[in-house]
Structure 1
Amino acid sequence: MRTPQVDRAEGMPERVRIYEVGVRDGLQNEENIVPVDVKAEFVRRLEAAGVETIETTSFVSPTWVPQLADAAELLTALGESARGRNRPVLVPNEKGLDRALEAGVGAIAIFGSATEAFAAKNLNATVDGQFDMFGPVAKRAKDEGLWVRAYVSMCFGDPWEGDVAPDQVVSVARRLMDLGCDELSIGDTIGVGTAGQVESVLDGLVEAGISLDTIAVHFHDTYGQALPNTLTALRKGVTIVDSSAGGLGGCPYAKSATGNLATEDLLWALHGLGIETGIDLPAMVGTSMWMSEQLGKPPASAVVKALGAPA
């Protein structure tokens, strides 16, 4: 299998930690329910490929996301491998945290919004009101010794509100980190962001006292900008990138959003730059080809399509 030619570029990090979201963020958008044994095998294949951090599921209400109704069952199937800080689960509120703690997780993620419209539609709250919900979750999680990640969605554009000012993103991000979160993921939920916006938001976060080594970027590829925006973030000093095996994903509350940045496309670019990831690219391609067979549809990743095609 072909691999990228390596040619290091100045200003790039030596290593990047990939935060794999395909199992949760990717599969939650599938209309057909994926069997729990297939999800568990997906996680095991990702682990075997060298993926360090895998967000496995969400303890959201099954009424809202039926695909993730089997969260506790999946964690049971995965056993102890699902209990560490590198296997976070998403929790929307204290009820979700209760279920996560019962399952013995070691890490959680909370999912906030930079805009009023998305906060209303996704959280049934206002931007200010979401902190009343997340505050107790973060405090209890930290008291229990859990690692906590905070997502901020709609950071580069909102389908209902339009443009989103960088200082609006920074304000929400700062308040989330003040809750005691360990990591912050900045999301382009509908994939409309461009490189200049990425620089402005990152500059604002740093000026607000948020360390670059705690910031992750999460880009969707609706307008083909996920990889360029990621490379811009890396040049600014970011070393954590969210991506999804095979490009699975979207957003169930924002219908214009297409899939996440494909992990394989990201790996091709990073490995070509000589950046270490600890992940085996051919194994990832094999994993995404296998998963696409389970779902009955072709992968969105350009690299999987290229490397998985018959010779």
Structure 2
Amino acid sequence: MFSLPNKATIIEVGPRDGLQNEGKLVSTENKLEFIEALQGAGIEEMELTSFVSPKWVPQMADANEIVSAVQKTGRQFVLTPNEKGITSALQAGAKAVAVFVGVSDSFNKKNINKTTAESMEALKPLILKLKQDGLFVRACISTAFYCPFEGAIKPEATIELCRQFVEWGVDELSVADTIGMASPQESYALFNDLVEAFPDVLMTAHFHDTRKMALANIFAALQAGVSRFDSSAGGLGGCPFAPGATGNVATEDVVNMLHRMGIETGIDIDRLCEAIAKIEPHVSSSIATGMYTLYKNRA
């Protein structure tokens, strides 16, 4: 067996990335119940919501209410696409923010109507100010492996984009296989280079399970030295601006795999499944991931 960490950190993205593309509007009360149950399962880092235009992402229209009401335990992120979003997030009481940009120009234009270079130019002064004010900043790197419009992304392009964020002082890089096309070999190669290039920055891997290779990609990233992983309870999610992207890798399946390998997460998988059971009636499709299916059958 390759050298693996004793512990790993799960960053739960279900309340934000998991629900953002959900067609059935989920009430603020149900979201808060979901978040509280996830925290009760032992999840200490979570994406709560995003401060984006409700015109484009109606599911996130209650961002202010979520941030104001949620129990502040552990590190709770909010996604902020621009200065307006950052201002709103800080006014609501957010202490950790996530910014995002796609390596692919085409994806970036579809997402926020800017090229990658234009996005970076706009983000730089915002990130510098956030760090000056002592906030935790997470940079989410979309289409790090493949783009739905441009195909394969050169690893050098992803590494260079990450380098700019590191130079501006971000605390964490969340590097995403946005449409779930990466192979374990590609996962290992890119994350090995990133960990080597940026040893002082928290490195997080974000995989979608479009082709059922997310767990294999996580295992490859573990071997490359990554011990932080984004995942979504119930496998909920999918990017509304990335055709073909299905759900995120399911938190319960990631936790099960890690625990079976002797890697601790601090998460109680039964209570995690209980949290999923709370949100399932409020989303448009039934949840049928491996560990959750076993849980329901047992229950």
TM range (shorter): over 0.9
Q: Is the 8 A contact 1:213 1:239 kept in 2?
A: no
* Counterpart position of 2:231: 243
1: distance between equivalents of 2:223 and 2:298?
36
* Counterpart position of 1:89: 78
**Aligned residue type for 1:109:** A
Matched, 1:44 2:44: no
Cα distance change of structure 1 residues 157 and 177 upon mapping to structure 2, 3 Å threshold: same
* Counterpart position of 2:127: 138
Matched, 1:284 2:276: no
* Counterpart position of 1:30: 22
* Counterpart position of 1:6: none
The 4+ residue runs of structure 1 with deviation greater than 6 A are none
Matched, 1:309 2:290: no
Q: Is the 8 A contact 1:85 1:147 kept in 2?
A: no
**Aligned residue type for 2:84:** K
* Counterpart position of 1:4: none
Matches within 5 A, 1:2-21: 9-21=1-13
Q: CA deviation at 1:213?
A: 5.8
Deviations 1:60-118 (A, max 9, x none): 1111111001000112222xx34x66001000000101101111111000011111111
* Counterpart position of 2:50: 58
* Counterpart position of 2:248: 260
Q: CA deviation at 1:300?
A: 4.0
Matched, 1:116 2:101: no
1: distance between equivalents of 2:161 and 2:257?
31
2: distance between equivalents of 1:38 and 1:218?
25
Matches within 5 A, 1:140-159: 140-159=129-148
Cα distance change of structure 1 residues 204 and 236 upon mapping to structure 2, 3 Å threshold: closer
Please list every run of 5 or more consecutive structure 1 residues that lacks an aligned counterpart in the other structure.
Answer: 1-8
Q: CA deviation at 1:212?
A: 7.0
Q: CA deviation at 1:137?
A: 1.9
Partner SS state of residue 151, structure 2: coil
Q: Is the 8 A contact 2:148 2:243 kept in 1?
A: no
Q: CA deviation at 1:127?
A: 1.6
2: distance between equivalents of 1:123 and 1:310?
44
**Aligned residue type for 1:233:** A
Cα distance change of structure 1 residues 281 and 310 upon mapping to structure 2, 3 Å threshold: closer
Q: Is the 8 A contact 1:113 1:172 kept in 2?
A: no
Please list every run of 5 or more consecutive structure 2 residues that lacks an aligned counterpart in the other structure.
Answer: none
Question: Which deviates further from its counterpart, 195-204 or 16-25?
Answer: 195-204
2: distance between equivalents of 1:222 and 1:19?
19
Matched, 1:225 2:217: no
Q: CA deviation at 1:186?
A: 0.7
Cα distance change of structure 1 residues 47 and 99 upon mapping to structure 2, 3 Å threshold: same
**Aligned residue type for 1:149:** R
2: distance between equivalents of 1:135 and 1:122?
19
Matches within 5 A, 1:146-185: 146-185=135-174
* Counterpart position of 1:68: 60
Q: Give identity over the alignment, percent.
A: 41
Q: Is the 8 A contact 1:250 1:259 kept in 2?
A: yes
Deviations 1:237-287 (A, max 9, x none): 101000000000010001200000100000110010111100000111111
* Counterpart position of 1:3: none
Matches within 5 A, 1:193-232: 193-207=182-196, 209-211=197-199, 214-232=202-220
2: distance between equivalents of 1:213 and 1:148?
11
Cα distance change of structure 1 residues 178 and 300 upon mapping to structure 2, 3 Å threshold: farther
Cα RMSD of the aligned pairs, angstroms, is 1.5
Q: CA deviation at 1:124?
A: 1.2
TM-score (norm 2): 0.96
TM-score (norm 1): 0.93
2: distance between equivalents of 1:40 and 1:290?
11
1: distance between equivalents of 2:2 and 2:167?
34
Q: Is the 8 A contact 2:180 2:214 kept in 1?
A: yes
Question: Which deviates further from its counterpart, 257-266 or 286-295?
Answer: 286-295
